[in-house]
Amino acid sequence: MTTVAETGRVEIRGTGEPAEADVLTPAALDFVALLQRRFGTERRRLLALRAERQARFDAGERPGFLPSTRPIREQGWTVAPPPKDLLDRRVEITGPTDRKMMINALNSGASVFMADFEDSLSPTWANVVAGQANLRDAVRGTITFEAPGRTYRLNEETATLVVRPRGWHLEERHVLVDGEPVPASLFDFGLAFFHNARELLDRGSGPYFYLPKLESHLEARLWNDVFTAAQEELRIPHGTTRATVLIETVPAAFEMDEILYELRDHASGLNAGRWDYIFSVIKKFRSHPDLVLPNRSWVTMTVPFMRAYTELLVRTCHRRKAYAIGGMAAFIPNPRDPAANEEAFARVRADKVREAGDGFDGTWVAHPGLVPVACDVFDGVLGDRPNQLGRTREDVDVTADDLLRVGICRDHVTEQGLRTNVSVGIRYLESWLRGVGAAAIDNLMEDAATAEISRSQVWQWVHHGVRLAEGQVVTRHLVTHLADEEMDRLRATVGGHDFVTRPFAAARALFLSAALDDPFVEFLTLPAGRLLG
């Protein structure tokens, strides 16, 4: 389908989805095209800067605080005051824009629901279009879901809705503006803003967003320019749009002040995106044999570099009157295993106690069953207060060396850790290729970020010849052998018919390519996305 926009052509290569007529209206596509034409060139320039910086890291450079922006870090500015429905963010639940999941999340008792077009959504054309339709219905309070014997609908009180578009690095290959794929970030944001910004304002809320995978304050500046242009174009008051930035890349950890400064009229806070941050550490320092990480399970929030990153985030946010939101609790309660639940709930509680004690204003969970646990912890610290902005954490003094204290004992690289990476990577990718981006694996809600950790750790261990605690060196042959064993296990578990009809073979090939081949693939979702419908 091809539609003529105001100053050129918008071509839609995905077809046949029921919601297309409501979501992909000519006016909405004109709006997306306007954003692409105005900001697409700068996006490409900033992505090129990412590649240049990575080349310097590969050559031995380490990141640091920018001398050129020192005045911003030293001045006493603050971000805009929060809107009423973002005053209290003590528990936030996340999930893809699946219809039933959205209803359950909005009804969960959490303060905020992050509707995700990014890491927990497999971006099939069907999922992307349906997600925008579901978002429209949720904003208007009309979203329902019919299941055998039950109808799901919204409660009278629901969580505040925040939307996460895809990152700057991705393109929506089903939509071309003047012959070029539109940036997925502008497509997701543009449709969500066009269809819902005015409606949200009329209902006493506003267009609120989470911004993923930023690597510099220049990328934050670009988002700020997008917000300003979108508000002007649709006559939405300036500053109505609010953004919380996920600090989930190493370069961004050195530019927290600057990121908030660039977005200061639109900023709500920063979030400690722990899984992507670990992936970024591996990716950015992939050429450094002294910065090899051990098993994922050993990289907890209390290891030195993670501790430094989160404490700096709280100090930075509160100095700027912005909210500091803690990391994800990914555990999925299992009613058939009370003992495992008890142990997992204890770990989740300890994690949230640490965050609340450090001064975070709220935290993330992936399942409605964790909302009461997280709420209980933050209620105990906050009481009647909506936040901890008054805790400025003047006791925190984080240096560049603290953020880079990455190398941890290699004795904690084990065969089981390697097997887990291979297993989780293949199983997650199989789910993703079927269109399911939030996958329950071993009682954890896995998304693209944890799959990225799995494959990038394997790449790092192979390329640096890491020796397992059991004595074996991690080689291509060993990884391939473990992948074959995992495929045999999956065949026995799911049955021969399902094993053949589901994309396990494609998932294995994709994982091994991303985990073993040169050059390093910047994002697993780039080659994986070419296999989606």
Alpha carbon distance 62, 265 (integer Å): 31
370 phi and psi, to 5 degrees?
Answer: -95, -10
Which position has the token pair 């806070």? Answer: 269
Alpha carbon distance 290, 374 (integer Å): 36
End-to-end CA distance of the chain: 16
* Residue length of the chain: 533
- Residue whose C-alpha is closest to residue 35's, from 184, 170, 136, 163: 184
What DSSP string runs through 190-218? HHHHHHHHHHHHHTT---EEEE----SHH
Alpha carbon distance 260, 224 (integer Å): 10
What the block records as the tokens of 293 is: 């990480």
Strands 91-96 and 112-116: parallel
CA max distance for the chain? 65
What the block records as the tokens of 297 is: 């399970």
Alpha carbon distance 404, 347 (integer Å): 26
**DSSP label of 297:** G
Alpha carbon distance 502, 484 (integer Å): 16
Q: Are 507 and 426 in contact (CB under 8 A)?
A: yes
Alpha carbon distance 142, 361 (integer Å): 31
Q: Are 11 and 173 in contact (CB under 8 A)?
A: no
**394 C-beta neighbours (distance < 10 Å), count:** 9
2 phi and psi, to 5 degrees?
Answer: -125, 135
Strands 8-12 and 2-5: antiparallel
Q: Which residues are catalytic?
A: 164, 447
